[in-house]
């Protein structure tokens, strides 16, 4: 079976996306955490979701320093788009290591910030691997109902911390040239490799 690298955020959408792809791909999950800005409960939540989904391998990657770098060097309104690109690019490094061909995300058009059509297009243009977005056009209630059915809803519905450093008024529409300029302000390879080198890998 071919492999995919799935971003597991701890929210409601990404576990459902993983569930929908599990019959088609062997899935390795990646969680980008914000410790020490957050507490151990963030990782506990992700570990519990991994168990429910019966995932065999999960990368826990410290990303607080990368995200703080974004807030100081880049246009803060682009924070969610830039952070998502950096997460995906780091996931691509893991995909190369794990011989995976695809990325999987719980992005959904009912959400805001990085998940508008315009921003999803810009994110995709910055990546090399094929991205599967299995809940992209789902109604939010459909996702919630499925999360309840597979047993992830109660865990996922706890406090979300992904917006911890995000702006109050994020950009909902941007263009590739603007994002390329913002990414150019960062030492991309260095910060991604440093985070990946500090990752914990759970074999469940």
The answer to whether 146 touches 19, Cβ cutoff 8 Å, is: yes
Residue predicted with more confidence, 80 or 28:
28
Instruction: Compute the distance between CA of residue 134 and CA of residue 137 in angstroms, rounded to an integer.
Output: 8
Residue 146, preceding bond cis, omega within 30 degrees?
A: no
How would residue 162 be classed by pLDDT, with cut points 50, 70 and 90?
Answer: low
All domains in the chain, ordered by first residue: 3-203 (3.40.50.620)
pTM of the model: 0.90
Give the DSSP letter string of 122-143. Answer: HHHHT-SSEEE-TTTT--HHHH
- Average pLDDT on 25-33 reads 96
Q: What are phi and psi of 144, to 5 degrees?
A: -60, -45
Residue 61, beta-bridge partner list = 32
* pLDDT tens by residue, 92-128: 999 999 999 999 999 988 665 556 788 888 889 999 9
Residue 158 has pLDDT above 90, yes or no: no
**Lowest pLDDT segment from 16-25, 36-45, 122-131, 146-155:** 36-45
| Tokens describing residue 127 | 């990546």
Instruction: Compute the distance between CA of residue 81 and CA of residue 92 in angstroms, rounded to an integer.
Output: 17
Residue 164 has pLDDT above 70, yes or no: no
Question: In the chain, at which residue ranges do the beta strands (DSSP E only) sit?
Answer: 3-7, 26-33, 57-62, 102-104, 130-132, 200-203
How would residue 7 be classed by pLDDT, with cut points 50, 70 and 90?
Answer: very high
How would residue 163 be classed by pLDDT, with cut points 50, 70 and 90?
Answer: low
Q: For position 112, what pLDDT does the model report?
A: 59
- Average pLDDT on 160-189 reads 78
């Amino acid at each position: 079976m071919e492999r995919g690298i799935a971003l597991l955020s701890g929210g409601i959408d990404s576990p459902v996306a993983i569930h929908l792809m599990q019959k088609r791909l062997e899935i390795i999950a990646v969680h980008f955490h914000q410790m020490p800005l957050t507490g151990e409960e963030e990782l506990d939540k992700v570990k519990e979701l991994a168990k429910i989904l019966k995932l065999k391998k999960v990368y826990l990657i410290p990303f607080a320093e990368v995200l703080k770098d974004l807030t100081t060097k880049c246009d803060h309104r682009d924070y969610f788009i830039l952070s998502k690109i950096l997460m995906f690019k780091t996931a691509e490094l893991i995909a190369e290591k794990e011989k995976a061909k695809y990325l999987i995300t719980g992005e959904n058009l009912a959400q805001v910030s990085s998940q508008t059509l315009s921003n999803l297009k810009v994110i995709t243009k910055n990546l090399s691997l094929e991205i599967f977005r299995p809940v992209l056009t789902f109604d939010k209630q459909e996702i919630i109902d499925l999360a309840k059915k597979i047993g992830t809803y109660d865990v996922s519905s706890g406090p979300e911390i992904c917006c911890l450093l995000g702006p109050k008024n994020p950009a909902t529409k941007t263009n590739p040239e603007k994002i390329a300029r913002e990414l150019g302000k960062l030492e991309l390879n260095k910060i991604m490799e440093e985070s990946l080198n500090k990752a914990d890998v759970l074999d469940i």
